[in-house]
Structure 1
């Protein structure tokens, strides 16, 4: 019997296309493995047989970001989640990162994958989650839905949060040379060692301070791994728009409705341990809630039995 692997490390591969857009979604984590426009990368890709690095293209549910110590209290019960970010002692980015999602629908320009979160220690709830990716002439439409399908003893309301984790690419080079426009008036202050919230501080409008990108400006050497809120929509639209532009004039846009996604995590992907991978993309993660929301309760979604939550964002070339 041959020992050659017949299944890539990132799972089954689903290629979709529309016009100049091409994307590949991998079944492990329902991950956006690549997205291109006219052959140009719009996200940092990775190989089909790679173990997904740095959460590239992942779906983060039933919580995004960090839970301090993996502990929280809900339904009058203290829960303990596995700590998977041991350096900071947090439970990071949810429970569906490494699930093998099943295909539920596919066309030449779209694919929908689904996964079930089974009741478990730290999260005694059953959720059915779907991630749908659709390419059009306008770019990628990416949606995630979750339904509390609990039965028997696990029928209590479930805490929930969601976000995507793409690393956007404006063009050649690293983020330092790119300009970013981020319409956020507040940034969450976090502890430097564990990146956990302390307070939300207003960014002084248009003063060019460290985290103020309300007017497009060059990222430079700024290191960002923070959650932003108080988001404003683009003129004449009901959508938040984050824009990245490279010096050569290429760029990428991510947009979403702020009502259900009032937060966005921005990360310059700094990697002191791997300089060749450092700052090669900008993580833009629209979030339904801030870091450690299972403890603070801020903007947490509570799904009753049968309750459903939908979230949507899009990525397009500029």
Structure 2
């Protein structure tokens, strides 16, 4: 059936399930033991606030939608008009094609062609693989062009722990620094996390008291996890990241279109934990940007794990 988010692919194991849309390769739901771990996107509407979409070939923003390559100014389309920036890459409105499919995994691919401000040709892919306790997401790319091409990638999932109101969850982020942003949400400096300060999430803090749209740098990589959401009963959602995913954007909008179990929609607090391989505005700063030689491949993963409370 044709939907606004393309084909919706169902994945399942004995304990877990997920759905993935072909539009923007978006993760539209994830459950373990019947407990929802992400905000859901119904097939009848586009992902609210970028819910679950893939961000490629850059995550977050490019200041003025402009950067310089080999001495020439590259003008991208302005896709963040209220702030005059380009946001979240070039695949947000692209239908991916299915490359591989199994009961518990799917791989989707999309090509990025030369276009305004982007003179490169890339083949990209993302693979969602369910485990009994969560999900592994692997992003990949190959440079199909004749010259080196820049690359960065991110994802935009919003997490929860079942039906517990997000306000009651606590959030811990394990990172050494954060990016100070200007009024256009573009980095101007890297700061150390000040103990007890506004951006210090080294100890769990209740989400109801937070108002964040900030990028953390040098997050903990590996299975221990970069971020942990914990419910009052002790159940936890752990977001882990491979070494190339050194950044994590935390966004806590209060107007997210939450859909409850009966399908009713209402604005609510939500929390996006966005793994990123580069900093915002990386096309200008170079922070985390990878330059791929012709025919060069690249892959890295992040994932989410559910842990029962004691």
TM-score, normalisation: structure 1: 0.90
Does structure 2 retain, via aligned residues, the 8 Å contact 1:171–1:248?
no
Q: Within 2, Cα distance between the matches of 1:122 and 1:92?
A: 13
Shift of 1:173: 4.5
Shift of 1:242: 1.1
Contact conserved, 2:48 with 2:257, CA < 8 A, in 1?
no
Q: Which runs of 5+ in 1 are unaligned?
A: 1-5
Give the count of matched residue pairs.
Answer: 301
Say whether the 8 Å CA contact 2:67–2:75 is kept in structure 1: yes
1:157 alignment partner in structure 2: 148
* 2:111 aligned with 1:126: no
1:212 to 177, 196, 200: 200
Partner of 2:43: 48
Q: CA deviation at 1:309?
A: 1.9
**Aligned-pair Cα RMSD in Å:** 1.9
2:193 to 203, 214, 217: 203
- What is the aligned partner in structure 1 of residue 93 from structure 2? 98
Query: 2-side partners of 1:30 and 1:171: how far apart?
Result: 23
* Contiguous gaps of at least 5 residues in structure 2: 259-264
Structure 1 CA distance for aligned equivalents of residues 283 and 184 of structure 2: 16
Q: Which residue of structure 2 lines up, in the alignment, with residue 316 of structure 1? A: 305
Match of 1:278 among 268, 275, 280: 268
Residues 239, 125 of structure 1: alpha-carbon distance in 2 compared, 3 angstrom cutoff: farther
- Within the candidate set 291, 295, 300, 1:302 is matched to 291
Matched with 1:269 is 253
Instruction: Tell me how far apart the structure 2 counterparts of residues 315 and 110 of structure 1 sit (CA, whole Å).
Output: 15
Task: Provide the C-alpha distance between the structure 2 equivalents of 1:188 and 1:43, rounded to a whole number of angstroms.
Answer: 25
1:249 aligns with 2:231: no
How far residue 176 of structure 1 moved from its aligned partner, in angstroms, is 2.7
Which position in structure 1 is the counterpart of 2:262?
none
TM-score by length of 2: 0.92
Quick one: structure 1 residues 56 and 72, their matched pair in 2 at CA, closer, same or farther if it must change by over 3 Å?
A: same
In structure 2, relative to structure 1, the CA distance for the partners of 1:31 and 1:232 (3 Å cut) is closer
Distance 2:25 2:257 in 1: 27
